[in-house]
Structure 1
């Protein structure tokens, strides 16, 4: 009997100790078994004000690489007249040519950066009629499928490493069957991993994450209600967000990627990080602290697979100490990114082994209880490892 109780003490102790761990190795499901999730030290990149095939853009990408960026999301912007329109078209001032896109992809690859291709659609009045209001009618989906398949073929031909199949189409996301059809069609043209960029208030409502390889979130979560939060307050906010994401991740079992995250260098931007039109007073410290709080909280989470910071411009001289916009270029936060991106994550190599122990412990404990021995175990005798 003593031997049986000793075994039971150890089993229960293993259960408690393992359950106390804050991280467990996630078990990811993927339609593409060849896709191994990769942590992405990312940056979003757009061709404003210079085209992707300009010498200025080449220099800007070089400076990005010097900031230790490992993955770059290259954006291809298209438009439609309004949220009810069904026709998608290029815009002379904003849509890159395929040749310039190809140049930027090759330049990034030459600099040893991986590429996510991110086609995006806006309405002509993006302020009052944003993309999340796009209706998603049958005719719109027909146009969008053709649009995405064209870029999927382009991505395949140019060795793109990750393809984002949509961005912030919140009103359309409940059309689960149609989105699955689009994803299936895209996979006929592109063999690499896929993601989708959902908003902070819709990612939990998407029912087709199982068709993709990464959960993508444009992570403009509000952090505090203060213009001048401390770093500790920002960390507390991110801890709450991370806890919610981790709980939800246990349901979808997919690696989570921030397809966008960013902060303007303006006072109070932490309250509405998505707000790109507000007039803000310069505050480089708040931008720095918001980045740091996110990095400190998420860097070593086993379910989290990277940041794409918004936004790096094709002008190598963009940003600077007097700029209140999103770009980290030529600001203190650029050096913060360089420092963090120079290091690796510290994931416990024993997590997988510990998870196996958890399984064995539960099985053994269940057997022990079924044998009616558990009532001999006193709480004072249970020790943590």
Structure 2
């Protein structure tokens, strides 16, 4: 299969949004979903990440269930077609959640293997079936980027398993491949050479962006690969700029807190030419009415001051470089 990794990133930074999370069946092929994606595109978005989750019961379960638990292939086809009609480039991002609420970063197994206990080999066999199915779908749909995993912090150390999975993905998908490491993990991964794009979740506290970008830059220079924040954002809550990754933080609604954080983050990223762009988290398939925005505490910027911040930055990112 001829690889087409030359299509990794565009000449201008990726101006992206994650859409449709968590991919609940029946939510992506509706009039509401169509209205949602059109509203998202109005912010000057040029890329959309379609993110959806399979499930496993606990962090120590080895069966990853995806048939019937997340959006169907036809729903993904519909969403990609809708995105193409709006002129958007597409990243497919299948991931996994634990039914008991444990964050996927804690999925893990005993090492070395213990007879009678679940193993990494069993988990990767099940997870790999899920990922390879969607990699083949990404090839069918000519997706511009495919993400093999997201924020699997304990799994990150399973280097050979990931290398084998990426190699298998390349047998069915000819486009560029990335892995979405969690925040603070960019310089811990040992297999960045296996993928085409280094990508990360950029949920760094307000006031720390310069230091974190300095650290990530050394990783990018060492590997000589494109870099992308394939997730980044902040809930619209008081206190969230100091803990933007914490979706459980119980702050009062605050569009201004979110807007200030997004302005700081996007400004910091724009000042680093090696940052290939940002895909913001997130935009639901069933979008809340704009009049509910002042009381909405989620990451979505629809109807909030953050929408104007995003539109302004994305417009400037689309401008040609100065002569």
Q: Same fold (TM over 0.5)?
A: yes
Q: TM-score, normalised by structure 2?
A: 0.89
Measure how far apart 1:174 and its partner are.
1.3
Q: Are 1:69 and 2:45 an aligned pair? A: yes
Q: Are 1:86 and 2:62 an aligned pair? A: yes
Instruction: State the secondary structure of the residue aligned to 2:84.
Output: helix
Larger Rg: 1
8 Å CA contact retained: 1:35, 1:213 = no
Q: Are 1:207 and 2:190 an aligned pair? A: yes
Instruction: State the secondary structure of the residue aligned to 1:314.
Output: coil
Query: Structure 1 pair 314/41, CA: closer, same or farther in 2 (3 Å)?
Result: same
Measure how far apart 1:202 and its partner are.
2.0
2:308 paired residue number: 335
Measure how far apart 1:305 and its partner are.
0.7
Map 1:164-313 → 2, pairs under 5 A = 164-223=147-206, 234=207, 237-313=208-284
8 Å CA contact retained: 2:8, 2:176 = no
1:143 paired residue number: 126
Measure how far apart 1:299 and its partner are.
1.3
8 Å CA contact retained: 1:47, 1:96 = no
1:37 paired residue number: 9
Measure how far apart 1:247 and its partner are.
2.5
Q: Determine the C-alpha separation between the residues in 1 that align with 2:79 and 2:200.
A: 24
Query: Structure 1 pair 307/60, CA: closer, same or farther in 2 (3 Å)?
Result: same
- Which 5+ residue runs of structure 1 have no aligned equivalent? 1-30, 224-233, 350-385
Q: TM-score, normalised by structure 1?
A: 0.75
Q: Are 1:155 and 2:131 an aligned pair? A: no
- Greater share of helix residues, 1 or 2? 1
Measure how far apart 1:201 and its partner are.
2.7
Give the aligned length.
304
Query: Structure 1 pair 149/66, CA: closer, same or farther in 2 (3 Å)?
Result: same
2:117 paired residue number: none
8 Å CA contact retained: 2:135, 2:169 = yes
1:101 paired residue number: 76
2:31 paired residue number: 55
- How large is the Cα RMSD of the aligned pairs? 2.0
Measure how far apart 1:348 and its partner are.
6.5
Measure how far apart 1:200 and its partner are.
1.3
Instruction: State the secondary structure of the residue aligned to 1:86.
Output: coil
Q: Are 1:118 and 2:80 an aligned pair? A: no
Q: Determine the C-alpha separation between the residues in 1 that align with 2:4 and 2:141.
A: 20
- Which 5+ residue runs of structure 2 have no aligned equivalent? 110-119
